[in-house]
Structure 1
Amino acid sequence: MKTLSIVLAALLSLSSTAQAHEVWVERDGTGPARIYLGEPGEALPEGGDPEFEKLKSPKLVPASSAAQVRKTGYIEVAAPPGDVRVIDDSVFAPWGEEGKKEGVIYYARAGRAEAKAGLPLEIVPTAANADSFTLLRNGKPVSAAKLTVISPDKWSKAFVTDAQGRVTLPLKDKGRYILSATQTEKGDLSLAGQKVATLYHIATLTFLND
């Protein structure tokens, strides 16, 4: 019984960790992209997030053969000018009981120059450099969804998308903003060659407000 309790506690901890963690991308100008795994609302621990080692090979969209260089707490990769998009479905292996397994897919974007989506779940500006955004899932707006905003000084607030899947944000401070949204999918699904009953789709968008 004690062993079973330990296993269950570990699975619950993994579920909590996977949902709390996010993948996000930062970029300054046309410099290299920096891909992070962690909790963007918290200060990055010295040496990077404890789970960072699980971020092994995030995929740029469109695909890129550029070398990914591991730094302290992030992966650095050269990217063409413009917005940068990343997808990763291999950070956390599916967890939980057989028949009830859960999994997570991360989608990340840096920049708000393009008013279009390139990922299955994406937070998209309504126009280049706009302060309003649409949450799109497979190209369709998602209404009544929670979208969390973290300001440059780590102020955090949740907004809810309207009937058109949009939110308008009070971008008063200069610096880097991080937006995030989660969509939960249930059914007869698969991830990493395993059957899962629940998939968490977690999207982030980062941009600099000058």
Structure 2
Amino acid sequence: MIRKFLLAALLASATTAQAHEVWIERDGTGPARIYLGEPGEPVPEGGDPEFAKLKAPKLINHNGAALVRKAGYLEVAVPAGDVRAWDDAVFEPWGEAGKKESVVYYARAGRSETRAAMPFEIAPVTAHGDRFVVLRDGKPVAGARVTVITPDKWSKGFIADASGVLRVPVREKGRYLLSATQKDEGAIAHPSGTLAALHRIATTSFVVE
């Protein structure tokens, strides 16, 4: 009975980790808001039930910026421009010994820079354009699967071309969010120990005015 309970708990943890995403929202040059949850759904009052596990995402180029915990998100004041953060410690690794898995999140808000600054990132092909490229270690990911969520929460999956590029159907004003995933398998070094699999989840949000 105990073994079944532990297995169910591990499966629940795996499902939660892979269903959740970390994303960043920013309005103009105001503070950035970092969320943990399901971006395709309205954010519950007070934040997602797992939000407390988002403790200290690592900001790219803004390491000294203070993260302020609000009701449902972390707020950080940073200079104008694109904002990026990543976190590999949101969820504890799950699975049995020798087959453990974990997840690392890469989040970005803005489309003014065409470069990628994280190992897994969705970047605009041209500044403020509607074509994006999925990059892994600076190289395009051919055939990458990308989910697009529009301001009215319309969601659809797309497949990038051989150059890792896809065009986002910009239909209305408001915030758009793109997400992509990759799964690495093998002996993978991790702060908690060696993993058998590592899930990478990247998000990019931008606002059409």
Corresponding residue for residue 34 of structure 2: 35
The aligned counterpart of 1:50 is: 49
Matched residues in 2 for 1:138 and 1:107: separation? 12
What is the aligned partner in structure 1 of residue 77 from structure 2?
78
Alignment of 1:51-70 (within 5 A): 51-70=50-69
Q: Which residue does the alignment assign to 2:194?
A: 195
Taking the aligned partners of 1:63 and 1:175, their CA distance within structure 2 comes to: 26
Kept after mapping to 2: 8 A contact 1:32/1:79: yes
Alpha-carbon distance in 2 for matches of 1:119, 1:141: 13
Structural mapping, 1:155-194, within 5 Å: 155-194=154-193
In structure 1, the residue corresponding to 2:5 is in which secondary structure? helix
Query: 1:68-106: per-residue Cα shift (whole Å, max 9, x none)?
Result: 100000000111210000010110111110100000000
What letter matches 2:28 in structure 1?
Answer: G
Contact 2:62–2:78, Cα closer than 8 Å, also in 1: no
Contact 2:22 2:105 in 1 (8 A): yes
Q: How many residues align?
A: 209
Q: Is the 8 A contact 1:93 1:192 kept in 2?
A: no
Matched, 1:152 2:157: no
Q: Structure 1 runs of 4+ off > 6 angstroms?
A: none
Normalised TM-score (structure 1): 0.98
Structure 1 unpaired stretches of 5+: none
Written as runs of structure 1 = structure 2, the 5 A alignment for 1:99-178 is: 99-178=98-177
Instruction: Report the alpha carbon displacement of residue 193 of structure 1 after superposing the two structures with TM.
Output: 2.9
Corresponding letter in the other structure for 1:103: S
The answer to whether the Cα contact below 8 Å between 1:94 and 1:191 also exists between their aligned partners in 2 is: no
Distance 1:66 1:88 in 2: 16
- Report the residue type matching 1:14 in the other structure: S
Tell me which residue corresponds to 1:208. 207
Contact 1:94-1:194 within 8 A present in 2 as well: no
Task: State the TM-score, normalizing by the size of structure 2.
Answer: 0.98
SS in 2 for 1:179: strand
What is the one-letter code of the residue matched to 1:113?
A: S
Identity of aligned residues (%): 60
Give how far 1:10 is off. 0.6
